[in-house]
């Protein structure tokens, strides 16, 4: 009996040991990522590879790369490019921290191969991307050693230059970025810098692309694209530096993204790129309907008066060639809304409140310049005015009410232009009495009140510009931009004579300067054309930031020469607090 019990105990221990060994072997064969701990913010790193990176005289058909952490199991082969192209695509197998690459054979003799992984390598926990990771090896006794580096310049938005692909195509490739994937490429970093290494000596076409759909080909209207006018020629071990500009191509065919009803009587129409013209037809279209183009020119508002309709069919023709038909479920009014008019009354649009830095008191009124026209936006278009009704501005400090004249802008019919001379530092209210304005729906307004604070005099100064351009044959558009990159002043310059410009009563704050080479002299900036191989008009964004103090004159000298644009050190002096 004791002997049987002993044997049974041994068998149980043996079975437990066998299970433990099996589990240990299984865990070694299939690595799994650990769970828990702090959030991982770093991308994977290569610990070692077989063969080592940049090996010479490679004769095998397999490459094994070991990372310092677990990577995603399913790599997207469409993101991985091999240069020069192979007869068949390699196979990419992931097991935990290991990546096995199975290459098709045979490989070309005396050839440098670069496997560019794009954004394919990510860690398994947080999807942190190992950017611009390449694996290079050679089947001969030397590596291709030419390289090219530089920066990408976004012609319209200088700060947005990250994750743009810079690509090279052999000299005999026609319009490569439009039809084929690149031979060599790299992605830009946060500063817009790129670097491509281990390039074979020869001639190449260079392109840049903000690849929105990640297919390495320019085929989307909203993709920024750029090209070099001339062939890039690289010799062995050359280190070339070359910048490239990206832009939105004029020949891009915009696509309708959405037609969304955002309120009764209002549909927001969005395209994936800016458009030049739009023809709209609809089964609810009436004579008082209108289309308002937003500043970006890639979105529009359709203001319609059939506010009780539940559905609409829109036919949209962009740039006279691209027609889309879409059906929209509208945000319709109920019939009883007409009686009380409480749900959607005509209103002044709400503004963000900017405080007067020179005032001791804080208030909830928006701050307006006393030197600029009074323009107030309404919540929907106005198509009728009762001229017998009084519109007045009330000085909320003195309680004096002055009758004013006004006009409704003809383009959007939502902007109310009021004629009135303000006094700095005063609080005002614009009052529109009942039944003065008839909106697009046929409704007359209830009493409207818009209140604001006129800025104090010592919150404004003058900018004194001296322009000295050395290009009499060029025509420039010169712009002053505020901190939000909004244009606050525009003027034109031609010739090489010194010119002085005074910008009076500008709000204190930071300003930027911009000059546009208006090559076709049409008074506006024109983008490039990737099909016609036409570069965009040059935009010079001066890097300096100029701070205007209240009650001061800021003097700036601007000079555009053959070498580079230059700016003087600004000088400032008190202007006696006298507005110009």
For Cα atoms 83, 84, 86, give the angle at the middle one, nearest 5 degrees.
100
Residue matched to tokens 């260079």: 206
- CATH of residue 472's domain is 2.60.40.180
Question: Could you tell me if residue 580 is inside a domain?
Answer: no
Do 173 and 199 share a domain, yes or no? Answer: yes
Question: Sheet of 134-138: strands edge to edge?
Answer: 81-83, 112-116, 134-138
- CATH of residue 315's domain is 2.60.40
Residue ranges in the chain whose pLDDT is less than 70: 1-38, 336-342, 351-363, 562-580
CA 211 to mean position of chain CA atoms: 13
Question: Could you tell me if residue 565 is inside a domain?
Answer: yes
Question: Could you tell me if residue 397 is inside a domain?
Answer: yes
The pair of three-digit structure tokens given for residue 254, joined into one six-digit string:
């915009």
- Cα separation, 572 vs 11, whole angstroms: 95
Question: Could you tell me if residue 548 is inside a domain?
Answer: yes
- CATH of residue 62's domain is 2.60.40.1220
Tell me which of 420, 455, 490 is where a domain ends: 455
pLDDT (0 to 100) of residue 321: 82
**What's the 3-state SS for 499-520?**
EEEEEEEEECEEEEEEEEECCC
The pair of three-digit structure tokens given for residue 7, joined into one six-digit string:
């044997």
Q: How distant, in Å, are the alpha carbons of 405, 430, 525 from that of 540?
A: 42, 41, 12
pLDDT (0 to 100) of residue 1: 44
Tell me which of 455, 486, 511 is where a domain ends: 455
Do 392 and 494 share a domain, yes or no? Answer: no
Do 150 and 230 share a domain, yes or no? Answer: yes
pLDDT (0 to 100) of residue 35: 59
Question: Could you tell me if residue 323 is inside a domain?
Answer: yes
pLDDT (0 to 100) of residue 498: 85
Do 467 and 443 share a domain, yes or no? Answer: no
Strand 146-154 relative to strand 244-246: parallel, antiparallel, unpaired?
parallel
Identify whether the C-beta of residue 102 lies closer than 8 Å to the C-beta of residue 91: yes
Question: Could you tell me if residue 362 is inside a domain?
Answer: no
Instruction: Render pLDDT for 453-505 as a digit per residue (tens, 0 to 9).
Output: 999 999 999 999 998 877 788 899 999 999 988 999 999 988 777 889 999 99
pLDDT (0 to 100) of residue 312: 96
Do 451 and 463 share a domain, yes or no? Answer: no
Question: Could you tell me if residue 361 is inside a domain?
Answer: no
Instruction: Render pLDDT for 216-229 as a digit per residue (tens, 0 to 9).
Output: 999 988 899 999 99
Do 570 and 465 share a domain, yes or no? Answer: yes
Question: Could you tell me if residue 430 is inside a domain?
Answer: yes
Do 235 and 162 share a domain, yes or no? Answer: yes
pLDDT (0 to 100) of residue 64: 98
- CATH of residue 183's domain is 2.60.40.1120
Cα separation of the two ends of the chain: 116
pLDDT (0 to 100) of residue 578: 37
Do 324 and 423 share a domain, yes or no? Answer: no
For Cα atoms 269, 275, 281, give the angle at the middle one, nearest 5 degrees.
50
Do 468 and 556 share a domain, yes or no? Answer: yes
Do 474 and 566 share a domain, yes or no? Answer: yes
Do 208 and 260 share a domain, yes or no? Answer: no
pLDDT (0 to 100) of residue 413: 96
Do 463 and 570 share a domain, yes or no? Answer: yes
Q: How many folded domains does the chain comprise?
A: 5
Instruction: Render pLDDT for 261-295 as a digit per residue (tens, 0 to 9).
Output: 999 999 999 998 888 889 999 999 999 999 999 88
SS3 state of residue 430: strand
Tell me which of 246, 276, 307 is where a domain ends: 246
The parent domain of residue 51 ranges over 46-138
Strand 460-469 relative to strand 552-560: parallel, antiparallel, unpaired?
parallel
């Amino acid at each position: 009996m004791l002997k049987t019990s002993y044997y049974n105990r041994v068998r149980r221990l043996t079975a437990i040991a066998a299970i433990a060994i099996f589990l240990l072997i299984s865990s070694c064969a299939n690595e799994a990522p650990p769970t828990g701990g702090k959030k991982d913010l770093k991308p994977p790193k290569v610990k070692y590879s077989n063969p080592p990176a940049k090996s010479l005289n490679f004769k095998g058909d397999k490459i094994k790369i070991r990372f310092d952490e677990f990577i995603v199991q399913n790599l997207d082969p469409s993101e991985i490019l091999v240069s020069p192209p192979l007869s068949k695509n390699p196979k990419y197998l992931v097991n935990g921290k290991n990546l096995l690459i199975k290459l098709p054979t045979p490989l070309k003799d005396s050839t440098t191969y670069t496997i560019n992984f794009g954004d394919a390598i990510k860690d398994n926990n947080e999807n942190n991307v190992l950017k611009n990771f390449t694996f290079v090896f050679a089947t001969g006794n030397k590596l291709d050693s030419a390289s090219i580096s530089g920066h990408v310049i976004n012609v319209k938005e200088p700060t947005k230059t990250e994750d743009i692909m810079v690509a090279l195509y052999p000299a005999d490739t026609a319009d490569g970025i439009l039809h084929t994937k690149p031979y060599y490429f790299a992605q830009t970093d946060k500063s817009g810098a790129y670097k491509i290494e281990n390039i074979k000596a020869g001639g190449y076409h260079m392109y840049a692309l903000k690849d929105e759909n990640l297919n390495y080909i320019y085929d989307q209207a909203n993709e920024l694209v750029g090209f070099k006018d001339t062939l890039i020629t690289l010799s062995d071990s050359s280190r070339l530096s070359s910048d490239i500009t990206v832009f939105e191509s004029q020949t891009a065919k915009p696509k309708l993204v959405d037609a969304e009803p955002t309120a009764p009587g209002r549909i927001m129409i969005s395209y994936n790129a800016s458009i030049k013209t739009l023809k709209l037809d609809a089964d609810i279209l009436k004579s008082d309907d209108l289309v308002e183009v937003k500043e970006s020119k890639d979105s529009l508002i359709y203001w319609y008066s059939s506010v009780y309709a539940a559905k609409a069919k829109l036919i949209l023709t962009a740039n006279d060639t691209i027609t889309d038909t879409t059906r929209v479920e509208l945000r319709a009014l109920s019939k009883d809304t007409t009686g009380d008019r409480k749900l959607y009354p005509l209103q002044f649009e709400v503004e963000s409140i900017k405080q007067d830095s020179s005032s001791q008191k804080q208030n909830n009124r928006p701050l307006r310049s006393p030197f600029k026209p009074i323009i107030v936006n309404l919540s929907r278009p106005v198509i009728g005015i009762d001229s017998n009704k009084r519109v007045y501005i009330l000085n909320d400090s003195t309680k004096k009410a002055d009758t004013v004249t006004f006009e409704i802008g003809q383009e959007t019919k939502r902007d109310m232009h009021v004629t009135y001379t303000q006094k700095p530092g005063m609080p005002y209210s614009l009052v529109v009495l009942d039944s003065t304005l008839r909106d697009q729906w046929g409704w007359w307004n209830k009493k409207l009140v818009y209140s604001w604070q006129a800025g104090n005099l010592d919150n404004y100064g003058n900018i004194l510009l001296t322009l000295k351009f050395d290009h009499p044959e060029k025509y420039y558009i010169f712009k002053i931009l505020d901190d939000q990159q909004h244009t606050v002043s525009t003027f034109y310059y031609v010739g090489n004579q010194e010119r002085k410009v005074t910008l009076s009563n500008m709000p204190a704050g930071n300003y930027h300067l911009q000059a546009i080479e208006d090559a076709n002299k049409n008074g506006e900036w024109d983008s490039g054309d990737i099909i016609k191989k036409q570069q965009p008009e040059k935009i010079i964004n001066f890097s300096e930031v100029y701070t205007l103090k209240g009650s001061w004159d800021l003097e700036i000298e601007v000079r555009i020469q053959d070498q580079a644009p230059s700016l003087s050190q600004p000088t400032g002096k008190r202007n006696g607090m006298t507005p110009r």
